[in-house]
Structure 1
Amino acid sequence: MSFFLLLLLLVLSAVAGFAPTAATSKTISSIAKPNCDDHCGNVSIPFPFGLTQECALNTNFSITCNTSFHPPKPFLSRTVEVRDISVEGQLRVMKLVAKICYNKGENRSSLRISYTSSRFYVNQTANKFVAVGCDTFANVYAYGDDQSYKTGSNCVSICNTTHDVTTTNGTCSGFGCCETGIPNVARNVYHSLDSLNYYNYTAGDINNCSYAFVVQKEEFRFSPTMLTRDWDVEKVPMVLDWTISNQTCLTACQGNTTCVAVNGEGYRCACKEGYEGNPYLPPGCQDVDECENGQNNCSKNAICSNTEGGYECSCKKGYRGDGKSALGCTSSNHRRHIMLVLGKPTPSLLSILLGDQRNPQSLLDGVYFVGIITKLISCFGLYVKYKRKKSVQMKKKFFKDNGGLILQGRIDQGSTSSSTTRIFAAQELKKATNNYDHTRIIGQGGFGIVYRGNLLDGRIVAVKKAKMMDPTQVEQFINEVIVLSQINHRNIVKLFGCCLETEIPLLVYEFISNGTLSEHLHNKDKASALPWSTRLRIATETAEVLSYLHSAASPPIIHRDVKSVNILLDDDYTARVSDFGASRLVPQDQTQLTTMVQGTFGYLDPEYLQTNHLTEKSDVYSFGVVLVELLTSRRALSFDGPEKERHLSQYFLSLLKENKLFKILDDNIVCHGNIEELREVALLAKRCLNVKGDDRPTMKEVAVELGGLRRAKKHPWINNSDTSMESDSLLTEQPIPFGYGATFSITTTEYDSLKHHMEFPAAAGR
């Protein structure tokens, strides 16, 4: 009873209200300083920006109006065209597009374009980095203000070998167009453009130019026509952020404003709610007349009255209510009808409710609102019940659409076990990841995000939350989940199960804490602490995993994305092969699969790239590149050094041919006692990197040979002279395959095993 009494008192006090207050509409001040122009052509120039130094806050905000254009155009530092400026802290500028063109037989040069500023940041959320072309490698990166750090990402865009540029409008997935995010909180942003130096797209109407640019997200949508000779672009819009850095909030922000610190570098002022204008110009922001401009939610039969910083709604004569809620203002006659339904309460009841029988009208009003509140509570309860029912229905729908019934049927039939293929509840994983808290992110990429989770049984897991799923290949997806969850190998990251109650399935993996092989090899300090004996053991363990997948698993599995990033290390530096996002199951009686190319440049089998025929030997080639990484501690692709060193496999084989192997080996692993052993592994890598797949060894042969080297290392009396002689004789042999190098992923019309998974960044544990 006390609850309803409290509600009645609150409602009655709200209904009583206050007398409407008349407010005089104020004139909004100019956006620029007095006696200063506030426009250049069609672009508004609000303070703190100005068209002269006297009209700007300081020289950092000075704008030049170039009147040689019709209409005139504003520029920053006389070079960067400004499209528009907002006092909310953003400005849009036009930036040059990086562009290189080439003809068959010509040397292809690289190009770098930068945006460097001590005043403005490139907005991370409003922009994206795009590469367009049929033979394009581009990257975007940012240096810290003191040049002490560098961060960024890359894009690869290709067309297939038939010169077919048919793609889907708006799709930037690697065919003709690639897009990625840009570094966060970046003042010094660079993007470079280069060619893969492999394709010659000069036939027909194919554009022989490549483009790279940072662009405002809404301002670019890919079209296949961009790959023809008719398309050309010089500048694109980019969004920058600005702040006030040389003043405090007290001096920068004027009346009726709020002040917010931005990036720890400066401040930004904003008008309080109910006010508008330029927060940087005195006297500050002015009151908005919401009643006059229609920016109010007063209901029908209500009167709007403007107040300082807001407004009030009151019901017209003959109506009751708050004038704003869903009920708004209702007729007094309508109230009487409700009273008839509720029944007329006795004075004793009213006395219990309100303790006052001297004002019958107020008592009747109270009972009226009790009825309204009761109905609202009932409606809210029904709404909550409906939402819960809807949520359950959606989970059931997702479970069915994602193949949950198929998986559950396999478990019930005994074809798989619930202990090896667990179906997780969405709520359990939500709790395990603290509602997918961003602090739990341990890896992210183009296909989705990976979170660290803590299950109720104490296990630490990696939860992969992908961005896409092929609805036409659900049964194949379930089959592969079952197969991968049943793989029992100590050097493979364990798949615990999946959650199918979400729109995109979630996969739950074992968590590996010591990062990736790539992280350890490509960090100077970590590489120096990784001795050759450990590297040889990692290579042997990885080879044994691939041999198991190719020869012992049923059906056989082609990993299709073997690389150092996908080889994790536990605390004992034991190799754990991961990320089967591109893997394919090999049907019985088949030795190769025809599929669109998917993998990672630098590790990608050139025969597979040219023929689209995926075989087990494709994994062998990729493993050969990993062997070279273990020997050299170099990346599979690097555009920082000389052009001849750009592709690691190509450079490695050229030095091997010239009998200059030790020029490329990591100095940390070379010693007097292991020279012959390093030559043996280099020879093995060379055989794995043969252009023709038939000339490569099988992974079983590779594993046996590496295992033999390890045993010989433990027992040096074992004679390996035969292999050493073969090594010497092959030092002058050819061929030298072309190496590639940059991560890319291409959508395919066939099912790409768990293709919605992402690549982990090198620093992520899984």
Structure 2
Amino acid sequence: MEKKFSRLLLLGLRAVWALSAAAADADVPAAKGPGCSTRCGDIDVAYPYGLDPQCAIHGGFVLNCTTVDRTTKLFHGGLEVIKISVPDGKTWVKTWISRQCYDQTTNGTLLYDNAEVWLDANTYVFSAEDNKVIVVGCNSLAYMWSESYIIGCSSTCDKDIADLKNGSCSARAGCCQADLPKGVRYYHSFFNDGYNTSQIWRETPCNYIAVMETKAFNFSTTYLSSTVFYDTDNSMKPVVLEWMIARNTCEVARTNKVTPYACRSNNSDCVTANEVGYRCRCSSGYKGNPYIVGGCTDIDECRDNVTYPCDGICKNISGNYTCDCPPGKNRINGLCLKNQKSVWMAPVVGGSVGLVILMIVITCAYLILERRKLHRIKQKYFRQHGGLLLFEEMRSQQGVAFKIFSEEELQQATHRFDEQQVIGHGGHGKVYKGVLKTDVEVAVKRCMTIDEQQKKEFGKEMLILSQINHKNIVKILGCCLEVEVPMLVYEFIPNGTLFDLIHGNRGRYISLGTRLRIAYESAEALAYLHSCASPPILHGDVKSTNILLDGDYSVKVSDFGASILAPSDKSQFVTLVQGTCGYLDPEYMQTCQLTDKSDVYSFGVVLLELLTRKKAFNLEGREHEKSLSMRFLSVMKENKLEDILDDQIKNNENVEYLEEIAELARQCLDMSGVNRPLMKEVADKLERLMKVMQHPWAHENPEELDNLLGEHSMSRISSVVTTEAFSIAKKAAMGLESGR
């Protein structure tokens, strides 16, 4: 898998462009000064942007206006800027399409272009609202690889190209789309070369993948039968970027004494976006540029009678307007009517009152119908997710500690799913902290999607998960079934994750014994899911952020749910690979089939984190050091294990223990799943090694040592344990041969 991926990068990488900012701590100018150009070709360059460092708010907003092929164009770094919207905080640029084409000259499929785009992390992200990952081709499986996600989809052609329809993007009609996650600042496109056009290149020569603006894409069958999709506009497509002034909240920005507050105009507001930072906008009733002193000016509503209707005397006021009736008229039922008693006044007033009463009745009836409709929808979701079956099973199985929550209960517990209650993010959704009416703290997982098969089996699977009772697994307390995507409720673990312990405070001392115990308890929990649960449960996303810790570092494995019950059909195939970079099983990425050995591989990476105190994936590292697992296997092959170990545990007393743990990690990281040990075998080896470390070898008698090691009897070892015997005894306790 590593060789294949390297080949894709080397053959497909045409150019890598980055939007880079100048020093972020430079002084922020008050506004554009005299002589600053405000236009490049047909594009307005509005502050905070500028065509000169002195004209922009900081280096991340400096643009370059230049002439290319006799045409004036605007650039930021290597990307062409085609539109800027200050009110929306968005910028449109052009990025490249990646393609995979059949090469007749070499009789093979090559990646001619494989785009990689970096954005300035302090200023820009790709807009998840306006962009999508789009794949085009009749036999294509392509991915977008970002900091924490691998997102992609598969497209095929079930019909002849001549029978397909324009304007319809369908996975079985040569086109598929995937949502772009929020907060993405980098992506790299690549193809699974098991899917190519080598057999169909005469009808459809190429496959394509692009991250682009959704509104700018309109599928055409000519994209399949020719190279027009790539050739149009020099193989570049528009993509929308969201920008920020700084990666701070509005509260921090207002009180920051180092960098001036950017919202300089009166009548302007600060806007905080969770994935971006803060930016500014004019207040309601005002328009203009909030980054310039006096830039937000009042909207004269009286000049626009269509947007701001007034049947009387319109008077503009700051930020709003009034509409008064002229002299001799009063406002009755919203209309300006003459102020006189007449024969027809009573019928008009009576008719108006009757109309108001009729509208009230209609509104009340509508609200009642909508409430009943909402109740029917909730009942539909409840039945669809197997709620009735779950109720019956809970009634028949007395003592099941599992509750079915209403949507209103969970909304109250999480303050209507307030973003401030978010305690975790993942590829499947968000986790909120909540407090039930009984003052019990819980964690509520709100998933984004669920497939149709899981909807049918959800209630049954919830009952299975509720019976999981292991001290090292976070307990599931209940679920909510009356929503489109069910929500899960877990016990709340307050003391952080293994990732925080290892990487959050690098100066904190963690002994080898503590690390080994954390590894053993995590392995025990996963072994329980694989071997003791019925049916077996695959975690699917084992990583240090999903291993929670109590105050005494006791492990609580978290983030598993209905989506991870092992399929009864071993041939089940999933076209969308999901997981976390650095922990993904290479075999899973190749076959798209999740197995228990995929969890073993991911656990091997966690074991490396404990040994090395290094992150599983480091984008800032050198090419051969980005992946921790690849670097580890390299040093193991060169017999240079000490080069990668954490200095806190690297000493003569621990050297043989570290070698045994490293060897176990190497077995877990085997590229072939069949060669990896079972999770139960991993847990047993870690347990035996713990006992060896805890046993006072130099002081205990042989009989006690014999009882400790069980079948690996060492009663013949003398009471004075030599250095050589000490080494042999430890290997025997690990179930290894002394001559290995």
User: Is 2:456 aligned against 1:475?
Assistant: yes
* Aligned partners of 1:127 and 1:182 also within 8 Å: no
Q: In the alignment, does 2:321 pair up with 1:307?
A: no
1:399 to 371, 379, 382: 382
Q: Secondary structure at the match of 2:87?
A: coil
> In the superposition, relative to structure 1, how do residues 307 and 399 fare at CA in structure 2: closer, same or farther (>3 Å)?
same
- Aligned residue in 2 for 1:685: 665
- Residue 18 (structure 1) aligns with: none
Determine the structure 1 residue equivalent to 2:183. Answer: 182
Question: 1:484 Cα deviation (Å)?
Answer: 0.7
Q: What residue is the counterpart of 2:685 in the other structure?
A: 705
Relative distance call for 1:161 and 1:684 in structure 2 (3 A) is farther
Of stretches 447-456 and 217-226 in structure 1, the one that deviates more from structure 2 is 217-226
Over 3 Å counting, the alpha-carbon distance change for 1:664 and 1:161 in structure 2 is farther
Matches within 5 A, 1:527-538: 528-538=508-518
Deviations 1:161-206 (A, max 9, x none): 99x9x999388xx9996732237xxxxx6x3648699979684659
* Greater mean deviation of Cα atoms: 550-559 or 223-232: 223-232
TM-fit CA distance, 1:585: 3.5
- Aligned counterparts of 2:68 and 2:405: Cα–Cα separation in 1: 66
**Which amino acid is 1:295 matched to?**
T
Distance change (3 Å), C-alpha of 1:282 and 1:688:
closer
Tell me which residue corresponds to 1:542: 522
Partner of 1:749: none
CA distance in 2, matches of 1:617, 1:268: 49
Calculate the aligned-residue CA RMSD, in Å. 5.5
Higher mean Cα deviation, 530-539 or 693-702?
Answer: 693-702
Cα contact 1:315–1:321 (8 A) shared by 2: no
Distance 1:697 1:50 in 2: 59
SS in 2 for 1:641: coil
Q: Summarize the alignment of residues 37-116 of structure 1 with structure 2, pairs less than 5 Å apart.
A: 42-43=42-43, 73=72, 75=74, 81-86=80-85, 88=87, 90=89, 92-97=91-96
Tell me: CA distance 1:423–1:536, structure 2 relative to 1, closer, same or farther (3 Å): same
Question: Aligned to 1:180, what secondary structure does the other structure show?
Answer: coil
Question: Matched residues in 1 for 2:126 and 2:295: separation?
Answer: 30
- For residue 128 of structure 1, report the CA deviation from its aligned partner: 5.5
Distance in 2 between residues matched to 1:606 and 1:117, nearest whole Å: 28
- CA distances 1:294-325 after superposition (whole Å, capped 9, x unpaired): 22445xxxx44433353637599999724469
Q: 2:695 is matched with which residue: 715, 737, 756?
A: 715
- Cα deviation per residue 1:52-82 (whole Å; 9 max; x = unaligned)? 999x899999988767777x64636897654
Distance 1:671 1:705, change over 3 A: same
Identity percentage over the alignment?
Answer: 33
Query: 1:518 aligned to 2:518?
Result: no
Shift of the 258–616 alpha-carbon distance from structure 1 to 2, 3 Å rule, reads: closer
Q: Please state whether the residue corresponding to 1:463 is helix, strand or coil.
A: strand
1:441 counterpart letter in structure 2: V
Q: Is contact 1:276–1:287 with CA below 8 Å preserved after alignment?
A: no
**What amino acid maps onto 1:321 in structure 2?**
I
Aligned counterparts of 1:692 and 1:282: Cα–Cα separation in 2: 65
- The answer to whether the 8 A contact 2:289-2:295 is kept is no
Query: Aligned pair in 2 of structure 1 residues 305, 516: CA closer, same or farther (>3 Å)?
Result: same
The worse-fitting range, judged by mean Cα deviation, of 642-651 and 79-88 is 79-88
Distance of 1:609 and 1:117 partners within structure 2: 28
Where does structure 2 lack aligned partners over 5 or more consecutive residues? 1-31, 247-252, 254-258, 698-704, 706-728
Matched-pair contact (CA < 8 Å) for 2:151–2:578: no
Shift in Å, 1:537: 1.0
2:499 aligned with 1:499:
no
**1:458 corresponds to 2:445:** no
Of 268, 293, 297, the residue aligned with 1:259 is 268
- Counterpart amino acid of residue 405 in structure 1: L
Give, in whole Å, the separation in 2 of the partners of 1:37 and 1:328.
56
Contact 1:315 1:322 in 2 (8 A): no
232-241 or 656-665, larger mean C-alpha shift? 232-241
Describe the shift of the 1:461–1:328 C-alpha distance in structure 2 as closer, same or farther (beyond 3 A). farther
Counting only pairs closer than 5 Å after superposition, residues 110-129 of structure 1 correspond to structure 2 as none
Q: What amino acid maps onto 1:596 in structure 2? A: V
Specify whether residues 457 and 646 from structure 1 end up closer, same or farther in structure 2 by C-alpha distance, changes over 3 A only.
same
SS in 1 for 2:535: coil
Q: Does 1:633 align with 2:613?
A: yes
Task: Summarize deviations over 1:433-461 as a string: whole Å, max 9, x none.
Answer: 11111110011233221100011222111
Separation in 2, partners of 1:271, 1:553: 57
What SS is found at the alignment partner of 1:488? coil
Task: Give the match's secondary structure for 1:525.
Answer: coil
AA aligned opposite 2:572: T
Contact 2:133 2:152 in 1 (8 A): no
Residue 458 of structure 1: SS of its match in structure 2? coil
How far has the Cα of 1:550 moved from its partner?
A: 2.6
User: In structure 1, what residue type is equivalent to 2:685?
Assistant: E
Q: Secondary structure at the match of 1:585?
A: coil
Change (3 A) 1:237 1:523: same
Q: Does 1:618 align with 2:630?
A: no
User: Does the 8 Å contact 2:98/2:114 carry over to 1?
Assistant: no
Say if 1:555 and 1:585, in contact at 8 Å, map to a contact too: yes
- Separation in 2, partners of 1:602, 1:57: 38
- Kept in 2, the 8 Å contact 1:37–1:51? The answer is yes
Q: Deviations over 1:202-227 (max 9, x none)?
A: 846599999786x6565468999989
Superposed, which structure 2 residues align to 1:421-436 within 5 Å? 421-436=402-417
Describe the superposition over 1:100-148 as per-residue Cα deviations: whole angstroms up to 9, x where unpaired: 9999999999987555599x76686766686979676643xxxxxxxxx
- Rg: which structure is higher? 1
| Alignment-derived partner of residue 169 in structure 1 | 169
- In the alignment, which residue of structure 1 is the partner of 2:13? none
Match of 1:336 among 342, 346, 352: 346
**Unaligned 5+ residue runs, structure 1?**
1-31, 140-151, 184-188, 342-367, 731-766
Q: What residue identity is the alignment partner of 1:399? A: F
Aligned counterpart in structure 2 of residue 410 of structure 1, from 393, 406, 429: 393
**How many residues are aligned here?**
631
Instruction: Name the CA shift for 1:512/1:226 in 2 (closer, same or farther; >3 Å).
Output: farther
User: Which has the bigger relative contact order, CA under 8 A and spacing at least 6?
Assistant: 1
Cα separation, 2, equivalents of 1:721 and 1:465? 46
User: What is the distance in 1 between the residues matched to 2:49 and 2:93?
Assistant: 17
Q: Per-residue deviation at 1:391?
A: 4.0
Contact 1:424 1:498 in 2 (8 A): yes
Post-superposition offset of 1:661: 2.2
* Residues 565 and 248 of structure 1, relative CA distance in 2, 3 Å threshold: closer
Partner of 2:14 in structure 1?
Answer: none
Contact 1:110 1:194 in 2 (8 A): yes
For 1:272-283, what aligned pairs fall within 5 Å after superposition? 273=285
Q: Give the residue type in structure 2 aligned to 1:92.
A: T
Distance 1:475 1:706 in 2: 39
2:332 to 313, 321, 324: 321
Instruction: Decide whether the 8 Å contact of 1:62 with 1:76 is kept in 2.
Output: no
Aligned match of 2:401 in 416, 420, 425?
420
| TM-score for both structures, normalised by structure 1 | 0.66
Matched residue, 2:649:
669
1:59 and 1:653 map into 2 onto residues whose CA distance is 44
Q: How far apart in 2 are the matches of 1:91 and 1:268? A: 12
Give the aligned partner of residue 761 of structure 1: none
